[in-house]
């Protein structure tokens, strides 16, 4: 390989890191991905393996977040081409579930709230179709007969997140990307550049470094001397307990989302008969142990929507650690005071959705190319005054 080829090291082998690795390799870089769980994501509590896999900017849309919604919509529109590209490179198909998402109201008060949300969604030019109880039961016959009303968002899709991880890994392998299944221990920094990333067993020279370590990104940043005049926000782990159930019949076609007993719950079907149920949301550091209370609440609330849940095989109860920034929006930007380091983290609930565009944005930063107009939404500039 030519000595002129730039060496890019990416710390973090989740969907953001892997998509960045692919984009950098397409730009002609020699890429190394370092992640202790890269050979077996099931051993990790990283958000990529534990996600629900929803591609759902409309049902995630909320009042006052119109600018961020534009970024999420752009990511959704990019998904078909992205899935086709990585499928072709990997030599295996990544299938998107295009059935859509249903938001459900279980009582009259919920129905009023849902109508208000639907009006907001439609006012933004998004498509949310009102459904009566009978219409709900017609398209999802196993729903609880207690449902009152719903909204069908046909554009909010889903993907099997674990199939996504596997497809990205295979695409990276076919693109000549090197995987190092180890933990980063140290960085060698010369003036304003990181020149070497070290693990227990080796050292990896780099021309560019991307920190895409999810909830652990701030821990990696501590190894680097940054510009003290520019604050970098802390990325914190946000727990999400998630269940996987298995049915012998097609229990569900659409993604279901609702508020039950005051808690948000979603059910996401998979093509193999699995249903993903999630997700609790609270902060307890890096504790990734599921709780009896969290599992009980998820099963209770899921059964309120889909009584057939009680007949399903129980496969798994796990905790994923989502990376949260102070405003729970992504950060993809250069690290102040370090010329060759890019931070790509903080994707919180939308990491799977934003995978379709994050890699290209990271590659553009590496190559000092012009960024898209909405890149300011993921810039560190918005955190003026936030301290580490």
pLDDT above 70 coverage of the chain, percent: 97
Residues with Cβ within 8 Å of residue 118, at least 6 apart in sequence: 103, 128, 130, 151
Q: How many CB atoms lie within 10 A of CB 312?
A: 23
- The closest alpha carbon to 330, from 300, 289, 359, 301, belongs to 359
Higher pLDDT: 90 or 124? It is 90
Cβ(268)–Cβ(275) below 8 Å: yes
More confident residue, 17 or 232: 17
- Cα–Cα distance, 107 to 132 (Å, whole number): 12
Banded model confidence at residue 378, pLDDT cuts 50, 70, 90: very high
The closest of 353, 376, 317, 277 to 61, measured between CA atoms, is 353
Domains of the chain: 7-50+163-231+326-383 (3.50.50.60), 99-156+236-324 (3.30.9.10)
Tell me the per-residue pLDDT of 96-154, one tens digit each, with 9 for 90 and over: 999 999 999 999 999 999 999 999 999 888 899 999 999 999 999 999 999 999 999 99
Confidence category of residue 385, pLDDT binned at 50, 70, 90: low
CA 302 to chain centre: 22
What are the residues facing 316 on neighbouring strands? 244
């Amino acid at each position: 390989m030519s000595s002129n080829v730039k060496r890019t090291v990416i710390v973090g082998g989740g969907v953001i890191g892997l998509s960045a690795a692919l984009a950098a390799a397409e730009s002609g870089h020699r890429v190394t991905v370092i992640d202790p769980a890269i050979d077996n994501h099931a051993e990790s509590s990283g958000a990529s393996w534990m996600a629900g896999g929803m591609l759902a900017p409309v049902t995630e849309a909320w009042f006052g977040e119109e600018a961020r919604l534009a970024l999420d919509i752009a990511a959704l529109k990019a998904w078909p081409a992205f899935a086709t590209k990585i499928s072709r490179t990997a030599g295996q198909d990544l299938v998107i579930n295009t059935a859509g998402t249903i938001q459900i109201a279980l009582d009259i008060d919920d129905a009023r709230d849902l109508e208000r949300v639907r009006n907001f969604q439609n006012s933004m030019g998004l498509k949310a179709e009102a459904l009566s109880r009978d219409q709900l039961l017609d398209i999802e016959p196993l729903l609880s007969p207690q449902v009152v009303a719903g909204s069908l968002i046909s554009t909010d899709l889903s993907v099997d997140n674990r199939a996504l991880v596997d497809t990205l890994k295979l695409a990276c392998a076919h693109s000549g990307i090197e995987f190092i299944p180890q933990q980063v221990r140290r960085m060698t920094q010369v003036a304003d550049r990181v020149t070497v990333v070290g693990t227990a067993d080796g050292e990896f020279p780099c021309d560019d470094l991307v920190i895409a370590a999810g909830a652990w990104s701030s821990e990696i940043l501590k190894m680097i001397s940054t510009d003290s005049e520019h604050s970098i926000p802390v990325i914190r782990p946000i727990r999400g307990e998630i269940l996987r159930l298995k049915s012998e019949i097609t229990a569900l076609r659409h993604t279901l989302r609702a508020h039950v007993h005051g808690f948000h719950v979603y059910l996401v079907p998979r093509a193999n008969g699995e249903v993903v149920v999630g997700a609790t949301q609270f902060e307890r550091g890096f504790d990734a142990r599921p709780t009896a209370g969290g599992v009980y609440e998820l099963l209770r609330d899921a059964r309120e929507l889909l009584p057939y849940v009680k007949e399903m095989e129980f496969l798994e109860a796990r905790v994923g650690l989502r990376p949260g920034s102070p405003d729970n929006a992504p950060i993809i930007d250069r690290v102040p005071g370090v010329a060759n380091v890019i931070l790509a983290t903080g994707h919180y609930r939308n990491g799977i959705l934003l995978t379709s565009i994050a890699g290209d944005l990271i590659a553009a930063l590496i190559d000092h190319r012009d960024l898209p107009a909405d890149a300011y939404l993921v810039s560190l500039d918005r955190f003026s005054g936030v301290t580490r």
